[in-house]
Amino acid sequence: MQRDMDYVRELLLDIEGKERPGLKDLLPVNAGNAEYLKLAEHLRMLVDEAGFVSGIPAHNLAGKNWLDLRLTWQGHDFLNSVRDPETWVKTKKGALAAGGWTVDILKDLAKGFIKKQLEEHTGIKL
């Protein structure tokens, strides 16, 4: 399964907006197996690899489940850098134009757009 950064961004927003959700709290009503697998794999990457989310692993017959999901400090930082939809669109466009990216590059690119906006609004060079 490929990592879907639009899905990651929406997932981080969803986790932030709920009080310590579990995997099932993040699934749409009547979600099918494909939706469950996509969510489970992206949560695994966010918890085990990116460190953007912390949670309690709970294994069941269907596989790994997660309880008590919360954004980490790093997760909050990444989400804050891509929270604004316009900044997110510009960030993705810039990354695609470069022909490749990592999560760190996406975050740095988004921070660059935010810095530019701050300079324009405040007149202070950052």
- Is 35 in contact with 45 (CB distance < 8 Å)? no
The number of domains in the chain is 2
Q: Are residues 90 and 67 in the same domain?
A: no
Retrieve residue 102's tokens.
């990592």
In a domain, 55, yes or no: yes
Q: Are residue 65 and residue 91 in the same domain, yes or no? A: no
Each residue's pLDDT tens digit, 64-107: 788 999 999 999 999 998 999 998 998 888 888 877 778 888 88
Domain boundary at 32, 50, 72, which? 72
The more confident residue out of 24 and 52 is 52
Domain that holds residue 63: 5-72
Asked if pLDDT for residue 62 goes beyond 70, the answer is: no
* pLDDT recorded at residue 94: 84
Prediction pTM value: 0.85
How far apart, in whole angstroms, are the C-alpha atoms of residue 57 and residue 46?
A: 13
Q: Do 36 and 89 belong to one domain? A: no
Question: Are 58 and 11 in a shared domain?
Answer: yes
What type of residue sits at position 36?
Y
pLDDT of residue 5 exceeding 80: yes
